[in-house]
């Protein structure tokens, strides 16, 4: 390949110019070029001209080559307009697509810096561009970022609305996206009803609004778009049900805990039992809930929770042990240990160690002592907590392991309330697959939930009735707010990158840029 072909390949972006020379000056590549001898339209009157009035020189940077900066020393023409009546007698020649007015970087170099700034913002973009041999200060990166054009606002038919924290517990903002494609539509400074209502009135065309259980957003949509369909987010509905199921499982711990009894507990469990006894002793004397909270120095909700407990709860965390050489899946030593300790609880550890070593046990004596002191030889299953029991009820049966399926069946059959709770959970999970007629099935489900002796689940049904129209749309229509939550996750990353120092305008621009 000759030199001209090599130059045309390496500097193909400068094809609008005539490259005269390429020089190596150490850490920089210097390109000498001039504009072509062609006619150019006058910017004042549009008359084409090639009459040269003079020349001027410009030094502009181009995209790097071989990890080194590229500087173009350009000789451009000053042309004279042949029209005597033109207000522009002379003008400087411009190179469209390559170089803009008053710029010291080529268009393609500016485009690369702008994309880096779009991803990393100020200081991080400045550090990366310096490593990529196209240095730019953080102020330049921010300036290029602010000049990027925002996508044209097209109001979609189905939108998703959610809030995110600019400063947690102090300032919040609202994000509006296209719920069907995930495209960001708008970022509003605030999460009050008036802000969203003003945007909806100024951007007509919305027919469906996906949101969470926020009453503020519901009121804003109701005032601005009375005919729009509001869709409650199914994930939030399931999450609210999970919280209520956990509380119900805790309230009936005295029933299902017997299927997998726990060993005597520690300080926390003893504190729970003592506090439960004090609360019920005061309630038996006719003391009110608020007075109980004052006398015991605890929160009113804590007293209410203890008052609803038929028995003290077992809130211990299930122990998690790493598998050892004693576990039965590797060697049958645990069955041997359990049988001997059941026959004689005072059997010496040294005797047990000698017996299992004859069977091939290769572990140490300390390992066996720790295994026995943890109580792992006495029970087949670890201690079941309320959270673990509720997770078994909330998991699809086909996704459970065989041993978890057996435990779930025992917990479900522990008492009539737990049986009803498991049936209601499965019924509500089936409704979260949108289908026609699910609104009628939801009415039947709410009736069954209110009939059952499950007070916490009854409060969940009250919340469904308050926002019933949106909940009905959620179980019928395929729209959801999942993409909005994904945008919020990306927004949190952007906020962390900017260290909370940027203003709302810059944050809004970074969110909306594709």
Low-confidence ranges of the chain (pLDDT < 50): 316-318, 329-331, 380-382
CB crowding 437-473: b at 16 or more within 10 Å, else e? ebbeebeebbeebeebebebbeebbeebeebeebbbb
DSSP string, 67-117: TEEEEEEEEEEEEE-S-TT-S-SEEE--BTTTB-TT-SB-HHHHHHHHHHH
User: Which fold, 158-233+480-512?
Assistant: Nucleotidyltransferase; domain 5 (3.30.420)
Q: What's the pLDDT score for residue 329?
A: 44
pLDDT (0 to 100) of residue 12: 84
Distance from C-alpha of 117 to C-alpha of 138, rounded to nearest angstrom: 9
- Give the residue extent of every domain in the chain: 3-147, 158-233+480-512, 235-262+386-479
Which one, of 255, 221, 174, 165, lies nearest residue 492 by Cα?
165
Read off the pLDDT of residues 92-114 as tens digits, 9 standing for 90 and up.
998 888 988 888 999 999 999 99
Query: Which residues, listed in sequence order, are joined to residue 58 by a DSSP beta bridge?
Result: 74
Output the pLDDT for position 351: 80
Closest CA to 176 of 200, 145, 207, 146: 200
pTM of the prediction? 0.71
Query: How would DSSP label each residue in 134-160?
Result: ----HHHHHHHHHHSPPPP----SEEE
**pLDDT tens digits for 184-223?**
999 999 999 999 999 999 999 999 999 998 899 999 999 9
For 392-420, letters b (16+ CB in 10 Å) and e give bbbeeeeebeeebeebbebbbebbebbeb
CB contact at 8 A, 36 and 81? no
């Amino acid at each position: 390949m000759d030199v001209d072909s090599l130059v045309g390949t390496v500097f193909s972006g400068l094809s609008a110019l005539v490259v005269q020379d390429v020089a190596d000056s150490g850490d920089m590549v210097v390109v000498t070029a001039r504009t072509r001898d062609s006619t150019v339209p006058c910017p004042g009157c549009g008359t084409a001209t090639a009459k040269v009035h003079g020349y001027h020189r410009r030094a502009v940077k181009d995209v790097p080559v071989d990890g080194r900066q590229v500087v173009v020393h350009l000789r451009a023409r000053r042309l004279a307009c042949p029209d005597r009546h033109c207000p522009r007698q002379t003008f400087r020649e411009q190179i469209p697509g390559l170089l803009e007015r008053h710029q010291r970087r080529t268009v393609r170099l500016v485009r690369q810096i702008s994309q880096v700034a779009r991803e990393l913002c100020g200081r991080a973009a400045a550090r990366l561009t310096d490593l990529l041999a196209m240095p730019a200060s953080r102020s330049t990166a921010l300036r290029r970022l602010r000049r990027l054009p925002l996508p044209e606002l097209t109001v979609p038919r189905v939108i998703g609305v959610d809030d995110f924290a600019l400063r947690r517990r102090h300032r919040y903002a609202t994000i509006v996206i296209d719920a069907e494609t995930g495209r960001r539509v708008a970022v509003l400074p605030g999460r009050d009803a008036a802000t969203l209502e003003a945007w909806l009135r100024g951007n007509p065309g919305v027919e469906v609004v996906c949101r969470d259980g926020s009453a503020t957003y519901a009121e804003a949509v109701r005032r601005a778009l009375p005919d729009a369909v509001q869709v409650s987010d199914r994930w939030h509905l399931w999450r609210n049900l999970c919280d209520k199921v956990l509380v119900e499982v805790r309230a009936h711990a005295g029933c299902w805990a017997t299927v997998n009894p726990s060993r005597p507990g520690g300080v926390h469990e003893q504190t729970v039992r003592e506090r439960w006894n004090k609360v019920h002793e005061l309630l038996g004397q006719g003391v009110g809930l608020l007075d109980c909270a004052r006398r015991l120095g605890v929160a009113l909700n804590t007293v209410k929770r203890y008052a609803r407990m038929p028995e003290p709860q077992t809130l211990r965390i299930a122990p998690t042990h790493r598998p050892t050489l004693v576990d039965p899946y590797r060697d049958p030593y645990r069955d041997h240990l359990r049988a001997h300790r059941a026959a004689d609880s005072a059997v010496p550890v040294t005797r047990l160690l000698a017996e299992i070593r004859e069977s091939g046990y290769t572990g140490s004596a300390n390992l066996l002592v720790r295994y026995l002191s943890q109580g792992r030889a006495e029970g087949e299953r670890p201690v079941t907590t309320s959270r673990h029991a509720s997770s078994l009820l909330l998991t699809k049966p086909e996704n459970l392991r065989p041993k978890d399926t057996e435990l779930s069946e025992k917990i479900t059959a522990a008492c009539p309330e737990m049986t009803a709770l498991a049936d209601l959970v499965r019924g509500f999970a089936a409704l979260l697959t949108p289908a026609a007629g699910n609104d009628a099935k939801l009415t039947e489900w709410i009736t069954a939930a209110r009939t059952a002796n499950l007070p916490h689940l009854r409060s969940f049904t009250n919340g469904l009735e308050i926002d019933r129209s949106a909940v009905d749309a959620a179980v019928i229509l395929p729209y959801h707010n999942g993409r909005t939550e994904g945008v919020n996750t990306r927004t949190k990353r952007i906020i962390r990158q900017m260290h909370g120092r940027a203003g709302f305008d810059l944050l809004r621009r970074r969110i909306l840029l594709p």
